[in-house]
């Protein structure tokens, strides 16, 4: 783990202790109940932006090295036994043909699927550069690109922002990567889904929902309005910009994770484990390039 200390001001729901990110749901339980929590946490493994491809490095991206980096992450996950794994998008890199891109997908998913039976895939723009969404989802044996599920006392949401401004889904090189959107039908589903649960919510996304630059979803303000209006969303875990970052907006923590593909050698790997208490407390532990923090609680 990276031991660099970063002191950052946070709101009512977050602090870091002993190198571990802690997000608390103050509106769900009192601090006394959180302190007295005895129930085991739900553990989740996270990886993002693997960009696997059987091709030479380009700039800082070392595509073939992803398999070795994933193997290291897999050993850690097998040791620490997360309940499920989430891949936050761009599992593969772009190819010139459907056959080649499907070969990339088959190769990397064989390694990823061997780690854990319970897996969830967020669509990234590179996942559907040449493939159609249906082809990618079939390759990873996942039925839908956006959906929700529950484990223990937590409600999880997987989002898909791989849509153009006109509502058309990405696929077969029909899009610009900067034109990422959550379409109306998905927004309506999201609002209904959050109303249907009384549990705290954790969201998984690829394109960023907290910035207005090229890496951000163009209508992410509308997505955030739905999150804030529910008063249930604790945190959003996302990738896409390949960097460590964290913002707090309306009391919700938007945590951007480092890309696995960036940099040469195992020291440039990056992956995470999160532990979620029934109280809504979340602890994030990062490995290699995924930062660790020691944040003081703000009262």
At CB < 8 A and 24+ separation, what contacts does 141-146 make?
A: 146/186, 146/189, 146/190
Report the pLDDT value the prediction gives residue 24, as an integer from 0 to 100.
Answer: 44
Strands 154-158 and 201-204: parallel
Instruction: Name the strand (E) or helix (H) holding 137.
Output: helix 133-140
Instruction: Tell me which DSSP letter residue 298 carries.
Output: P
User: Average pLDDT, stretch 275-290?
Assistant: 87
Q: pTM for the complete prediction?
A: 0.87
Cα–Cα distance for residue pair 214/242, rounded to 1 Å: 13
User: Average pLDDT, stretch 254-265?
Assistant: 96
How far is C-alpha 50 from the geometric centre of its chain's CA atoms?
12
Superfamily for the 14-288 domain: Metallo-dependent phosphatases (3.60.21.10)
Is the per-residue pLDDT at 9 higher than 60?
Answer: no
User: Mind listing the pLDDT tens digit for each residue in 76-124?
Assistant: 999 999 999 999 999 999 999 999 999 999 999 999 999 999 999 999 9
């Amino acid at each position: 783990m990276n031991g660099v200390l970063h002191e950052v001001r946070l709101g009512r729901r977050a602090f870091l202790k002993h190198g571990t990110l802690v997000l608390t749901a103050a509106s769900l339980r009192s601090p006394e109940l959180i302190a007295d929590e005895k129930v085991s946490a739900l553990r989740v493994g996270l990886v993002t932006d693997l960009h696997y491809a059987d091709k030479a490095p380009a700039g800082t991206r070392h595509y073939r090295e992803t398999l070795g980096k994933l193997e290291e992450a897999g050993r850690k996950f097998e040791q620490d036994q997360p309940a499920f794994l989430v891949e936050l998008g761009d599992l593969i890199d772009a190819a010139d043909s459907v056959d080649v891109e499907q070969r990339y997908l088959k190769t990397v998913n064989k390694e990823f699927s061997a780690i854990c039976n319970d897996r969830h895939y967020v669509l990234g723009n590179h996942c559907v550069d040449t493939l159609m969404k249906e082809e990618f989802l079939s390759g990873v044996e996942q039925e839908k690109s956006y959906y929700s599920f529950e484990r223990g006392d937590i409600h999880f949401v997987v989002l898909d922002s791989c849509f153009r401004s006109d509502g058309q889904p990405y696929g077969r090189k029909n899009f610009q990567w900067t034109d990422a959107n959550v379409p109306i039908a998905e927004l309506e589903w999201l609002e209904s889904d959050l109303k249907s649960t009384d549990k705290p919510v954790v969201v998984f996304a690829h394109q960023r929902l907290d910035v207005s630059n090229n890496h951000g979803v163009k209508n992410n303000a509308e997505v955030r309005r739905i999150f804030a209006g529910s008063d249930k969303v604790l945190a959003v875990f996302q990738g896409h910009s390949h960097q460590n970052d964290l913002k707090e907006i309306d009391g919700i923590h938007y945590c951007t994770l480092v890309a696995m593909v960036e940099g040469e050698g195992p020291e440039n790997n990056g992956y995470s484990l999160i532990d979620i208490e029934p109280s809504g407390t979340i602890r994030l532990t990062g490995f290699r390039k995924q930062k660790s923090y020691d944040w003081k609680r703000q009262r």
